[in-house]
Amino acid sequence: MSAGPAVERVDGHVALPTGRKVSIVGAGSVGVAIGVSLLAKNIADPLVLIDVDGNKALGEVQDMQHSSAFLQTQQIIGGNDYSLTEGSQICIVTAGARQKPGQSRTDMLEANIKIMKHIITELVKYSPDAIIIIVSNPVDVLTYAAWKISGLPLNQIFGSGTHLDSSRFQYFIGKLSGFPVHLIKAQILGEHGASCAPIWSGVSVAGHPIEKFGNLFTEENKKFVFEQVLQSVPELLRLKGYTSTAVGFAVADQVESILFNKSKAIPVSTLVKGFYGIEEDVFLSLPCLLGNSGISTVLPPDLNEHEKHLFKASADNMFKYQQEIDD
Ligand code: 6V0
């Protein structure tokens, strides 16, 4: 039987980049949330899920495969074999040991660095050109460690950083102002963690600086908004035991900007040496343009003196923490 005439799809057809293989290491709540976000956005194919617990990865893969009738992704695979990741455009690391009762922060960090060494070595072996996104916590220190382990150039490896914190910041500013969240431009920079810095000087609502909103953005209200951002994680841990959905969408946004060469300016964790007087090799979040080659440009915003101080304090904090692993 003849195959018939070739059918050309042109109208309404969006050309997708050819290489869209994305691998996720860690099939826990975060890895799965990222996977589901990628599937919902139809931007990764094949999608690979790797976990040290191969059955867990396979179970999650099969559950995703059973959604195929509602998706466009053709191939979803996984297990505990890193050769499945071969030729990935992007690799995302969400694997991590959770803090055990009685275990110190440094002990947990050491355990996670050991895990990171194995994972990064395997990923680079099978996909030397892939862009690697680290999501596991503490994300800034682990990204620094992964960068050193990998030997990759800075454009090719970064941490998911404060993109998530920034989306929470936008959400709570939206709640305060009554404007839809997509009209809020706001960023949190620095550490993904307690010493992060809300950049109020750059906040705009529907295109207007906050000074235009009368006495809505009082110091008290600003403090309240930021407190809500900081309390998000303990609140979610109290309510559901972990956080996953928002980080899933945040990382999928980063993946989309890379695969589709969108060059979106997104705050991610990168080497900040040389910015705002920082002299050490420290990874923190600054807005970066994300495209096909990963980070093409770091765009440090003009900060006021208070914000510079917060950012520098974040760097000092991180440097001290990092020294625990450099020793
Ligand atoms: P989880 O549900 O415990 O999943 C972790 C997964 O990693 C498990 O399935 C493990 O089997 C797997 N794993 C452990 N060791 C290895 C290994 N050596 N190789 C492969 N897989 C391994 O944790 P969850 O998914 O909730 O969180 C994962 C990580 O993301 C943690 O470090 C969180 O702290 C971190 N998060 C980071 C966020 C961010 O914004 N950067 C946000 C939320 C959580």
Q: pLDDT digit string (tens) for 162-207?
A: 999 999 999 999 999 999 999 999 999 999 988 899 999 999 999 9
Closest CA to 95 of 159, 144, 39, 31: 31
What is the spatial distance between Cα 191 and Cα 137, in angstroms, rounded to a whole number?
A: 11
Q: Which pLDDT score is estimated for 13?
A: 45
Backbone angles phi, psi at 243, to 5 degrees: -120, 140
Q: Beta partners for 159? A: 134, 269
| Ligand 1: residue whose CA is nearest its atom 2 | 28
> Can you name the residues that pair with 285 across neighbouring β-strands?
190, 269
In the reported structure, the alpha carbon of residue 185 is separated from the centroid of ligand 1 by a whole-number distance in angstroms of: 29
Rounded distance from Cα 39 to ligand 1 centre (Å): 19
Q: What is the pLDDT of residue 316?
A: 92
pLDDT tens digit sequence for 217-256: 999 999 999 999 999 999 999 999 999 999 999 999 999 9
Instruction: Compute, in angstroms, the gap from residue 134 CA to the centroid of ligand 1.
Output: 11
- Tell me if 243 CB under 6 Å of ligand 1: yes
Does residue 11 carry a pLDDT above 70? no
Length of the chain: 327
Nearest CA to ligand 1 atom 27: 30
Rg of the chain over Cα atoms, rounded to whole angstroms, equals: 20
Contact 135 CB / ligand 1 (< 6 Å): yes
State the catalytic residue, choosing from 66, 118, 163, 192: 192
Mutate which of 30, 80, 119 for ligand 1? The one with the most ligand atoms within 8 Å of its CB, which is 30
Question: Is residue 93 within 6 Å of ligand 1 at its C-beta?
Answer: no
Task: Tell me whether residue 192 is one of the annotated catalytic residues.
Answer: yes
- Of the listed ranges 35-49, 56-70, 98-112, the one predicted with least confidence: 98-112
Residue 224 Cβ contacting ligand 1 at under 6 Å: no
Query: Which residues are 45's β-sheet partners?
Result: 20
Query: How many Å lie between the centroid of ligand 1 and the Cα of residue 95?
Result: 4
Q: How far is the CA of 327 from the centre of ligand 1 (A)?
A: 25
56 lines ligand 1 (CB under 6 A): yes
What's the chain's average pLDDT? 92
Nearest to 180 by CA among 170, 167, 190, 191: 170
Distance between CA atoms of residues 199 and 211, nearest Å? 14
Residue 157 beta carbon below 6 angstroms from any ligand 1 atom:
no
Report the candidate in 269, 314, 39, 297 with the shortest Cα–Cα distance to residue 132: 269
The 3-state secondary structure of the chain, one letter per residue? CCCCCCCCCCCCCCCCCCCECEEEECCCHHHHHHHHHHHHHCCCECEEEECCCHHHHHHHHHHHHCCHHHCCCCCEEEECCHHHHCCCCEEEECCCCCCCCCCCHHHHHHHHHHHHHHHHHHHHHHCCCCEEEECCCCHHHHHHHHHHHHCCCHHHEEECCCHHHHHHHHHHHHHHHCCCHHHEECCEEECCCCCCEECHHHCEECCEEHHHCCCCCCHHHHHHHHHHHHHHHHHHHHHCCCCCHHHHHHHHHHHHHHHCCCCEEEEEEEECCCCCCCCCCCEEEEEEEEECCEEEEECCCCCCHHHHHHHHHHHHHHHHHHHHHHC
Ligand 1 pocket, residue 29 CB under 6 Å = yes
Average pLDDT over residues 6-13: 46
Question: Which of the residue ranges 219-223, 290-294, 318-322 would you say has the lowest mean pLDDT?
Answer: 318-322
Q: Best of 32, 36, 51 to mutate for ligand 1, by most ligand atoms within 8 A of CB? A: 51
Q: What is the ipTM of this complex?
A: 0.99
Rounded mean pLDDT, 297-324: 92
- In whole angstroms, give the CA distance from residue 295 to residue 265: 10
Query: What is the pLDDT averaged over residues 46-68?
Result: 97
Rounded distance between C-alpha atoms, residue 151 and residue 242, angstroms: 32
pTM of the shown model: 0.94
Q: Which of 135, 86, 91 is nearest to 246 (CA)?
A: 135
Q: What is the pLDDT of residues 112-156, one digit of tens each?
A: 999 999 999 999 999 999 999 999 999 999 999 999 999 999 999
Does 190 contact ligand 1 (Cβ within 6 A)?
A: no
Nearest atom in ligand 1 to 137's CA: 32
How far, in Å, are 31, 69, 89, 185, 224 from residue 47 at the CA level? 11, 16, 11, 31, 40
Upstream peptide bond of 46 is cis (omega within 30 degrees of 0): yes
Average pLDDT score over residue span 278-289:
96
